[in-house]
Structure 1
Amino acid sequence: MHDTFDVLIVGGGPGGYVAAIRAAQLGLRTALVEKQHLGGICLNWGCIPTKAMLKGAEVAHTLRHLDTFGFSADNVQFDIRTLVAHSRQVSTTLTGGIAHLLKKNGVTLFEGRARLTGKGQVSVTLAEGEQALRAKHVILATGARPRPLPGLVPDGERIWSYFEALVPQQVPASLLVVGSGAIGVEFASLYADLGSAVTLVELAGQILPAEDQEVAALVRREFARRGIRVLTQASVGAVHSEGEQAHCSVRLADGREERISVERVLLAAGIQANREDLGLEALGVEIERGFVKTDAWCRTNVAGLYAIGDVAGAPCLAHKASHEGVLCVEKLAGVAGVHPLDKAFVPGCTYARPQVASLGLTEAAARATGRSLKIGRFDYQANGKALAMGEAQGFVKTIFDADSGELLGAHMVGPEVTEQIQGFGIAHALEATEQALGQVVFAHPTLSEAMHEAVLAASGRALHH
């Protein structure tokens, strides 16, 4: 086994393993160090298992509305442990596939904990002892973990992180979710559909703080209609357990304190980078707002050291990490035509009910640039496919520069929007203007017709308003 490599990657999540595969494809001698699970948080505890659980929630919702489509069912049984087992099996299948891909591409895998001991020098703690490795290029892809709040630390019992929320023994009768980013909103939606009485608490003035204000407002209305209590400009203070309940002190927007008792509290108030015990301090690696600081090519301030994915900061998304892994490796390998990542156009997706998908600037951010804008909006209430599905709540919003026709932002909320947002991403990448997009033929009947109508609406040309 070689102890000297061209590229050595620390962390086997969606950024690290993709970077390793691409480096090996380019003929670089490549090693990957992973201390626990290939696939990282995404495949093991994030993106993938949550979607399997959310599918179960979708089935629960469908069963409650069978009469709409002429069906009825009695004595339907549900076992949360079976759904959890399904989600874990999906993760196991995918992580096994990663191991196969690494082997197929000739990547050397070290199962252990890595620490930088100098420039291009890494010590790996393996089961059999320490091994010293050298590499011309070292890429940090160590990811992130849930961020605790003062006085609100997950205990695995009454106070959950998303780890515990993905493997419940039973559905809690009541749940308080702290934080309403994508993770908090998804779990609030999931557990509400499975039968929990859910309260969602957010410190900011709107849920989904990174999303367009109009999108967030619709999700809040839909959550309220479903019986989910939403508290914005609110914060959770002391939490103490007593018997089968967690008693929470919540400061409301008007300054009043309310005591809320629930079976479980789920902490979903952000993440923090996994940068401890990596040897960064000794090398003088720059840290910015808790994350490793990098340039457009994922380079740190230390020559030959790079960082990708969550450890390098927002947007903390698996597909952003994978993209950075590829561009980082291709740039250091001298591949022609590599472009820096436009982080504003990394799509963000929230797989709640309703789904949310967006890229580019929100309307407020676009207006703040001072540009002249054209804004189009089209409701799914006027979309035949959405009506046929019985899921017509939502809309598509497009934001264009009025002078150049450049697509500045796209925001979607409604059925299967996470499967459609890439259309606007492709349009932006190909520099398609509002006029060009208006000439595209969209199939009928499809949900995506709402995208076309939202483009046309920006010029007052929507056909089905």
Structure 2
Amino acid sequence: MNFDIVVIGGGPGGYVAAIRAAQLGLKTALVERKHLGGICLNWGCIPTKALLKSAEVYHLVQHAEEFGIKVKGISFDFEKIIARSRATAEKLSSGIKHLLKKNKVEVFEGHGKVTKSKTVLIENEGKKVNEINAKHIIIATGARARVLPGIEPDGEHIWSYKEAMTPKNLPKSLIIIGSGAIGIEFASFYNMFGVEVTVLERSPHILPHEDYEISQLAHKAFEKRGMKLITNAHVNKVTKKKVGIEISYEADGKIKTLEADRIISAVGIVANVENIGLENTKVQLDRGFIKTNPYLETDEPGIYAIGDVTSPPWLAHKASHEGIICVEKIAGLKDIHPLKLENIPGCTYCYPQIASIGLTEEKAKEKGLEIKVGRFPYFGNGKAMAIGETEGLIKTIFCAKTGELIGAHMVGAEVTEMIQGFGLVKNMEGTELDIMHTIFAHPTLSEMMHESTLNAFSRSIHI
């Protein structure tokens, strides 16, 4: 059982790395203990988007008369909504199994652990089922939700992401701790189905990693839809009651309480570094995550790490790209470029959507950069008017000296699709001229990307 590469973990980083390795002629094995596709495909990225689409359709049907369509007796079947989400995840998981087989990647079911001899021991329910050797080992074990003391998921009152995605019925009220992408997506989903949603965030504003202006616009949009958002809130205690749950928190120097049927805790992640044999290696950790160099090499020769088990941002597309960089470096390909964090787009699939890439306006100013900022609102775009989505903003940030695009931040319909346009510009180190000289189709939402750029250089046409 000798291989060129063994990948431990079959998530979006691991399975992509394995497929690319096989394409390059390397004999490759993949060890996965539960689900091919990892948390992302089975319990994260994909099934949550299926849920959010159902919520969006329900929301749009409720507003059908605005489009001249009359609909009577609007209702929803929550069991079917959940079933569709799970079916989507299962279909994709089987698709990955097919891709691995097609590329001749040998898949081993079980828990992978690195031994002192740098082989990978495979266990199932604590019993050894196999042992395989490899010249190179890639750790892609991912991460799990962080659990706060006293707020441990119990499957009933306090939900993890799994319970939040497969509830038997809708709660009347819900408290979500944390307003990052995961928290806000769940908040948006439940809010659109009529649940009374309250979000507690310890930072001064929701979506704390987003541009402040975009965060504020999102805040207003969510409140307009009935969501309650409390910032600068520090959770002190959670008390389970006969019916529902009570949460005590501190905000504005005062201790306050809230009651709800359920709580979802969405306060970050913890890397899966336990029981994978790191003690048998020289692999180093930084704040609980595996340290790597720009080519994903650890301090142990021949061992690499990619994805959520390493440094942030913890995104599926980052993991996949790291897997390709890592494998191509192992294979000896030339012109391998390390990942540039500032070129990684981030997307939140709430309603309205949020997407960003590069530096925020605040970060650019902290760095002492001289910048030009452009803005274009959705209400000035013909396509946005036609589809009834006039709430939103496209914001662009350029270096005043060179014209290079250094950041783009958006809130509104379909921004998670449009962000890739700015991603291409960033990857090419493009300037305002590259965007200005690009012909954008009309009528499209993407025209606002052009208009925002024009606005940054005082050349606005439609506003």
TM tier, smaller: over 0.9
Please list, as runs of the form range in 1=range in 2, the aligned pairs for 1:205-216 lying within 5 A after superposition.
205-216=204-215
How far apart in 2 are the matches of 1:79 and 1:238? 35
Please list, as runs of the form range in 1=range in 2, the aligned pairs for 1:49-448 lying within 5 A after superposition.
49-118=47-116, 120-126=118-124, 129-252=128-251, 254-448=252-446
Q: Deviations over 1:259-288 (max 9, x none)?
A: 211011001111110110111123131000
How far apart in 2 are the matches of 1:64 and 1:248? 33
For 2:171, give the aligned amino acid: P
How far apart in 1 are the matches of 2:317 and 2:116? 30
How far apart in 1 are the matches of 2:166 and 2:243? 18
How far residue 290 of structure 1 moved from its aligned partner, in angstroms, is 1.1
Q: Secondary structure at the match of 1:227?
A: coil
TM-score (normalizing by structure 2): 0.98
How far residue 69 of structure 1 moved from its aligned partner, in angstroms, is 0.8
Q: Does the CA contact (< 8 Å) of 2:121 and 2:128 recur in 1?
A: no
How far apart in 2 are the matches of 1:70 and 1:250? 46
For 2:134, give the aligned amino acid: A
How far apart in 2 are the matches of 1:250 and 1:79? 35
How far residue 119 of structure 1 moved from its aligned partner, in angstroms, is 5.0
How far apart in 1 are the matches of 2:402 and 2:90? 48
How far apart in 2 are the matches of 1:166 and 1:319? 22
Structure 2 gap ranges (5+): none
How far apart in 2 are the matches of 1:195 and 1:337? 52
How far apart in 1 are the matches of 2:224 and 2:113? 50
Q: Deviations over 1:209-237 (max 9, x none)?
A: 11000010011001111110000000222
How far apart in 2 are the matches of 1:175 and 1:126? 37
How far apart in 1 are the matches of 2:13 and 2:462? 42
How far apart in 2 are the matches of 1:368 and 1:106? 49
Q: Secondary structure at the match of 1:215?
A: helix
Give the number of equivalent residue pairs.
462
Q: Does the CA contact (< 8 Å) of 1:119 and 1:304 recur in 2?
A: no
TM-score (normalizing by structure 1): 0.98
Q: Does the CA contact (< 8 Å) of 1:11 and 1:40 recur in 2?
A: yes
Q: Secondary structure at the match of 2:156?
A: coil
Q: Secondary structure at the match of 1:404?
A: coil
1:28 aligns with 26
Q: Does the CA contact (< 8 Å) of 2:62 and 2:74 recur in 1?
A: no
Q: Does the CA contact (< 8 Å) of 2:65 and 2:71 recur in 1?
A: no
How far apart in 2 are the matches of 1:132 and 1:48? 32
Q: Deviations over 1:405-433 (max 9, x none)?
A: 11110111101000010000111112221
Q: Secondary structure at the match of 2:454?
A: helix
Q: Does the CA contact (< 8 Å) of 2:283 and 2:299 recur in 1?
A: yes
Structure 1 gap ranges (5+): none
Q: Secondary structure at the match of 1:77?
A: coil
For 1:190, give the aligned amino acid: F
How far residue 59 of structure 1 moved from its aligned partner, in angstroms, is 1.1
Q: Does the CA contact (< 8 Å) of 1:110 and 1:126 recur in 2?
A: no
How far apart in 1 are the matches of 2:424 and 2:203? 32
How far apart in 2 are the matches of 1:145 and 1:227? 30
Q: Secondary structure at the match of 2:115?
A: strand
For 2:453, give the aligned amino acid: V
2:39 to 32, 38, 41: 41
How far apart in 2 are the matches of 1:450 and 1:171? 38
Q: Deviations over 1:35-56 (max 9, x none)?
A: 0000000110000000000001
Q: Does the CA contact (< 8 Å) of 1:151 and 1:237 recur in 2?
A: no
How far apart in 1 are the matches of 2:73 and 2:379? 33
For 2:441, give the aligned amino acid: A
How far residue 240 of structure 1 moved from its aligned partner, in angstroms, is 1.7
How far apart in 2 are the matches of 1:213 and 1:259? 28
Q: Does the CA contact (< 8 Å) of 1:119 and 1:283 recur in 2?
A: no
Q: Does the CA contact (< 8 Å) of 2:31 and 2:111 recur in 1?
A: yes
Question: Do the aligned partners of residues 394 and 119 (structure 1) sit closer, same or farther apart at CA in structure 2, a change above 3 Å counting?
Answer: farther
Q: Secondary structure at the match of 1:421?
A: helix
How far apart in 1 are the matches of 2:372 and 2:419? 19
Q: Deviations over 1:48-95 (max 9, x none)?
A: 000000001101211221110112222222121110000000001000
How far residue 126 of structure 1 moved from its aligned partner, in angstroms, is 4.0
Q: Deviations over 1:150-177 (max 9, x none)?
A: 2111111110111110001111110000
For 1:248, give the aligned amino acid: I
How far apart in 2 are the matches of 1:380 and 1:75? 32
Q: Secondary structure at the match of 2:379?
A: helix
For 2:261, give the aligned amino acid: E
Q: Does the CA contact (< 8 Å) of 1:143 and 1:309 recur in 2?
A: yes
Which deviates more, 206-215 or 65-74?
Answer: 65-74
Runs of 4+ in 1 over 2 A off after TM superposition: 126-130
Q: Deviations over 1:278-302 (max 9, x none)?
A: 1112313100011000110001010
How far apart in 2 are the matches of 1:428 and 1:283? 37
How far apart in 2 are the matches of 1:281 and 1:337? 34
Q: Does the CA contact (< 8 Å) of 1:298 and 1:328 recur in 2?
A: yes
Q: Secondary structure at the match of 2:394?
A: strand
How far apart in 1 are the matches of 2:180 and 2:447? 28
Q: Secondary structure at the match of 1:118?
A: coil
How far apart in 1 are the matches of 2:119 and 2:128? 17
For 1:382, give the aligned amino acid: G
